[in-house]
């Protein structure tokens, strides 16, 4: 009789632990989605349409005007 009681306690602990892990992971998922949603709303930059000009400007800034772009290749 004592072994059946121990098994029921262990199964009860297992189920409660799985439920708590499910709740915590769901909370992390939902809070992550909310954080991404609000960061996308408030962190909007105006995109430049002239990409090559922006790349040239950034290279000139990084190399103090000594560097130049030879070839631009789009990566997949």
pLDDT digits (tens, 9 = 90+) for 13-29: 999 999 999 999 999 99
Q: Look up the pTM and report it.
A: 0.51
Question: Any idea where the domains of the chain sit in the sequence?
Answer: 2-63
pLDDT bracket for residue 48 (50, 70, 90): low
Give the helix ranges, DSSP H, for the chain.
Answer: 2-42, 51-63
d(CA 12, CA 38): 39
Closest CA to 67 of 59, 76, 55: 59
């Amino acid at each position: 009789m004592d072994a059946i009681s121990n098994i029921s306690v262990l199964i009860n602990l297992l189920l409660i632990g799985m439920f708590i892990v499910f709740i915590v992971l769901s909370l992390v998922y939902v809070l992550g989605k909310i954080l991404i949603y609000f960061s996308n709303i408030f962190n909007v930059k105006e995109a430049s349409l002239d990409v090559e000009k922006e790349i040239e400007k950034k290279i000139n800034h990084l190399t103090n005007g000594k560097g130049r772009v030879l070839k631009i290749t789009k990566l997949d």
